[in-house]
Every structure is written in structure tokens, then in C-alpha cells.
Structure 1
Amino acid sequence: MKNLFLIMVLFSFPLISNASDESYFCSECTSNNVAKEVARLQYAPRLQCYPANPGDMMDIDNMICSSISKEVVLVNPDTKASYKFLVGHSNNAPIYSPIALDRSMTTDERNGYKHVANMLAAYNHALEYSSGAPAMSGYSSIQSTGSCPSDTALSHIVDPNNGF
């Protein structure tokens, strides 16, 4: 589902999302503080470490770690609220904790993400409807005559000796 949202955002609304942004649905994101923790703990970029002196073995005293920060947008599909953060890591060695900083969103961005959340709701509604609805309304029962029709296109395909 997360990938579906990312694809929907990037292809449906290329003007509201930078290529470096990542967008996800987050049902548990009911407030900015909750969304910030989700972004920090689940979507932080990979921390990359290397020795401070390239010829030395890397250990806790001889390593430098960093990550490439990225913007993450979390959208609650129920409330349609959206939250944007810059996610990365602190430079406090040796812990390098993941961090999430609040980012502002334009009205167009908020409206775009709200529209995508509405599209997801419509998609989910269509899936629920199609899985429980009859295939064709008005045809609740099919009556059988006990025999198959003859001289049909199907009968010619199934039995090629049955000539035209």
C-alpha cells in the first residue's frame, strides 16, 4: 500500500512533490508529534560509517558516520492530514540518533495529498464494493434448460469438425 501511494503521488501530482521526497500513508499518524516519531524511527535514511583515517581499522573511536537527509511526507488516510519532515541523523558521535525536523507545506501540497488520500478512499471503496457485489445486477439467478446451445461460435472452436 505504501508503494501504491508513492506511485500515485509521483505520477499524479509531479508539481507537489520533489523527486527526493518520499510519501507514505500512516493510519497511526493522528498528530504532528506521532507522525514525527514515525518518520524518525521508520523512515530515517541509512546511516553510513567509514574510518576517519582511511588506512586504519574502523572502531568506535575512529569512525565518521552520516546520512543523506530526505523529506518524508506522512498522510493519514482517514483524517486526510499530512505531515512533512526532514529526516536524517544527528552528528553526535557515537550514537548518531535519527532526527526528524518539521517542514512547512504549501496549500497546494496539502490539497494535493488530501486529493490522493481521497483517491485511495475511493479505490478502497471500489474494492470493497466489487468483492461483495454481484457481478451483474438484475441477474440474481440463472436458470438452466439442461442442455447446451448448439451451433455457436464456441461449439465450432471446441469441435473443429463441426463445420460451418
Structure 2
Amino acid sequence: MLVDPNFDHTVVLVLDVDEDGALGVVLNRPSPVPVDEVLPGWDGVLSGPDVLFQGGPVGTDSALAVADLRGAGADDDEPVGFRRLFGSTGIVDLDTPTEIMAPALGRLRVFAGYAGWGSGQLEAEIEEGSWYVLPAAPGDLYDADPERLWARVLRRQPGELAWVSTRPMDPTQN
């Protein structure tokens, strides 16, 4: 139902939802831009590929980093410059010096922009059938082959939803 090309065949990790709306990042749109060109020093912390990801159509002139803490449990203290979202995953303040953050981080991805929805917008899009809402699996955020992530996420689903993973980009050509 959603005809926005910004979200065609995307896997979006929803990071935050509250009464004002929702925020997420597109996981499967790597750009050709190396992170080191934009954020020198952070490339050594990345979970390849070492490029910026197109996180969404909003705020594309800014970067957002999502990371997992190295060996951290859900109740462990957060290092300076890290805000936990769920489990050991959180957002990294990229203004924090890498020498402070790097030892605490296990994996990291940097996104140019994000996906954002106003109050009730995402819920309405889900209700109209524009999104498949699925649980994230370990490794989705740091998938080594992000361009094939959409098909892999759908393929692991039970029943007919797995069939969607094989549909062509233009379903009328099926």
C-alpha cells in the first residue's frame, strides 16, 4: 500500500516510539560514502561495510550511530556518549571521542538520516497494510550483506509471508 520509493524493499529498525511519533533507521541501504570521509576516526569501530547507510529520508545532513555494547548485559551501566534503547543496543553520540567510546562498543553502524513518523502515522500505515511488522533477529542490524536483508527477513517467516521474499520488484511482472 505504501508507494513512497524511500521505503521500497526496506528493512526498518524502529528505535523509539512515543506519543509524538516514531523513529527508525533503514538497515539495508548502504551508500558508497566511506564513514571515514565524513566522520574521521569512527571507521575502526564499524561493523562492515565501512560506509554510511541511508537511514531514511529525514535529516539526511546529519548522522546517527547505532551500536551494541561489548559484553554488556541489560542492567550494566552505560558509558558516556551512549543511550541504551533495548538490550545492549543504543545510540552513540558521535561527538564523543572515539578513544572513549571504542573500547565499550562491540558493533556499530552509522546512518545518514532516519525514518520518522508523526503521532499515529506509523500505526495508521501498519493498519492499512503498508508494513510487515516482524521481530528483529540477532544480526539483522549488522548484517554482512545488507542489500539482501529484506529477502532474508521475509524468507525466515512462517507461511505465505515467506513467499513475498521472491516477488519481483514489479509484481505485475510475476
Q: TM bucket by the smaller chain?
A: under 0.3
Larger Rg: 1
Which structure's relative contact order is higher, taking Cα pairs within 8 Å and 6+ residues apart?
Answer: 2
TM-score (norm 1): 0.26
More strand by share: 2
More helix by share: 1
